Amino acid sequence: MREKLTKYLKELSTNQNIGRQYLVEEYSMQDGHVYTDPLMEDSHEVVKGLIHKYKNRALIKVSYHCAAHCRFCTRIRQIGTDDGTLTDADIDSIINYLIAHPEIDDVILSGGDPFYTPHITEVLLSKLKDIESVKVLRIGTRLPVQSPVSFASKPILRLLELVKQVASEKPFFILIHIEHPDELTPEVLSLFKTLRQQHVTLLSQTVFLKGINDHVEPLFQLFRTLYHNGVVPYYLYHCDKVAGLENFVVPLEAEIEIATELHRRLSGIACPAFVIDVHNGYGKLPVPLAYFTADSTTAKDIEGNIITL
C-alpha cells in the first residue's frame, strides 16, 4: 500500500497523532509484505463486493479506494487497488442476492470509502432503498476526518441529497472512523453539523493504536467531544490481527484498564463498546471491563469499593 494523504491531512501531518496514522515510517512493513485476512472476509464474499458473514447483516465494499491510506487498515491487502471497484453489473448481482436473501435486514456500505466514490455509492443506494427487506442502512467512512472540504463537492452534495431522502424512509447511520481528538478540527465539527441535517444518526468507530491513542486522556477527550457534537461513540476495537500490523497493537490488559477508566468517567451514551473482532471466528466480542470477579459474585463499583452482587 503506497503512502497517500489528502492536502488537508498533509497540513496536519506534523501532528504526530495524525501523521503516524498515514506516513510510511518505522511502523510500516517493507514493500512486498503479504498481509492476511484474519476476519475471513474473502471466504464470506458471496458475490463480488458483498460479504455475508452474519445472518441478518451484509457488508458491501464499494471499492478499495480511500482519500488517504491508513497504515493500520484491516484491509491493507486490498486498499489502493482497482480490483474492488463495483461496476453496474456487480451492483445488480449484489441487489439480486439481497432480494433473494430477505433475512438480511441491515446493510453496511464500506470499502474503501463509500464517500470517496460517490457516483458508485449513489447508484448502489438508489437501488438498495427500494428493497423491502432491507430495513436499516449504514455507511462507514473516514472521509470526514481526511478531507472535510470534499463534502462541499458536487458529487458528494448530490449523494447527501439521496442519503437524506433515504434516511427519511429508513433508519440510516453514518459511522465515522476516528482515532484521536486532534482529528476534531473546527472544519470537522462543522461538517458533523451539516451531516446531522441529513436525518442520519452519526456514530463513531475507533481502534486502539499503540503510540497514537493508547491512553485514557485522548480517548476521554475524543468520546466526550464526539458526544457533545452529536456523534454517538459506537465501537472501540482492539487492533485486528493482520500480519504486519503488530506494531500498532496495544496489549489487551492495558486496553481493559483504559476502557474501564473511560467507562467510569463518560456519560453512558458517550462510552463505546470495547470489542475484539475475533480472527478466524465470528463476532465482535465485548471485552469484560475490570469490574467483576471471575465467578461474578463480587465486583468493584466505579469508586473502587468491593460489593457483593
Ligand X SMILES: *Cc1c(COP(=O)(O)O)cnc(C)c1O
Residues 6+ apart with CB under 8 A from 38: 240, 241, 242, 279, 280
Residues 6+ apart with CB under 8 A from 96: none
* 70: partner contacted, choices ligand X, ligand SF4, none (Cβ within 5-8 A by kind): ligand SF4
C-alpha cell at 12: 496536519
C-alpha cell at 113: 470509502
Number of residues in contact with ligand X, rule: CB under 6 A? 7
| Residue 241 within binding range of ligand X, rule CB under 6 A | no
| Residue 91 within binding range of ligand X, rule CB under 6 A | no
**Binding ligand X by CB under 6 A: which of 5, 59, 107, 207?**
59
| Residue 54 within binding range of ligand X, rule CB under 6 A | yes
| Residue 51 within binding range of ligand X, rule CB under 6 A | yes
Pick the stretch among 106-114, 188-196, 237-245, 256-264 that binds ligand SF4 (CB under 6 A): 106-114
Among left, alpha and beta (phi > 0; psi -120 to 50; other), residue 80 is left
| Residue 291 within binding range of ligand X, rule CB under 6 A | no
Q: What is the longest distance spanned by two Cα atoms in the chain?
A: 61
Residues 6+ apart with CB under 8 A from 242: 35, 36, 37, 38, 74, 76, 77
**Binding ligand X by CB under 6 A: which of 4, 53, 129, 264?**
53
Pick between residue 63 and residue 198 the one whose CB is nearest to ligand SF4. Answer: 63
| Residue 142 within binding range of ligand SF4, rule CB under 6 A | yes
* 59: partner contacted, choices ligand SF4, ligand X, none (Cβ within 5-8 A by kind): ligand X
| Residue 75 within binding range of ligand SF4, rule CB under 6 A | yes
* 108: partner contacted, choices ligand X, ligand SF4, none (Cβ within 5-8 A by kind): ligand X
Pick between residue 9 and residue 271 the one whose CB is nearest to ligand X. Answer: 271
Pick the stretch among 63-71, 147-155, 220-228, 276-284 that binds ligand SF4 (CB under 6 A): 63-71
| Residue 79 within binding range of ligand SF4, rule CB under 6 A | yes
Least distance in angstroms from the C-beta of 39 to ligand X: 6
* Residue 198 CB neighbours (<10 A): 19
C-alpha cell at 51: 460479504
| Residue 200 within binding range of ligand SF4, rule CB under 6 A | no
Q: Give the integer Cα–Cα distance in Å for 141 and 195.
A: 12
| Residue 120 within binding range of ligand SF4, rule CB under 6 A | no
For residue 132, give Cα distances in angstroms to 98, 127, 167, 169, 234: 10, 11, 14, 11, 26
* Residue 53 CB neighbours (<10 A): 16
C-alpha cell at 55: 445472518
Instruction: List residues near ligand SF4 by CB under 6 A.
Output: 66, 69-70, 73, 75, 79, 111-113, 142, 177
